Amino acid sequence: MLQKRLARARRFVDWVTHAPSEALRRLGVLGQAVIQGVEEGRNEEELHRREDAFWEAFQSLSEQEQKLVEEWMEQQRHVGER
């Protein structure tokens, strides 16, 4: 289960890293920090800090950018169901 979540997270980071928006690219950098923390076995406190930074960045996205992210996530759910 964790491996599937990490794989999805990596696809997300790859996607936003090439986004036209600086805010989305920043979200990708923060997402990569979360993935790296999990892979390195960081403690819960450190992981929570990284996750909080990611979600704060998500909340600061424009409505249009948030919609793009939500659409991507929905598409990925359907990909996983196939």
Residue 81: how many other CB atoms lie within 10 Å: 6
CB 5 within 8 A of CB 34: no
Give residue 81's pLDDT band: very low, low, confident or very high (50, 70, 90).
low
Give the pLDDT score at 80.
Answer: 60
Q: What is the mean pLDDT of residues 27-38?
A: 94
Give the Cβ contact number of residue 50 at 10 Å: 20
pLDDT in tens, 46-78: 999 999 999 999 999 999 999 999 999 898 887
> Is residue 5 pLDDT above 90, yes or no?
no
Residue 1 DSSP code:
-
pLDDT (tens digit per residue) in 10-24 = 999 999 988 889 999
CB 51 within 8 A of CB 63: no
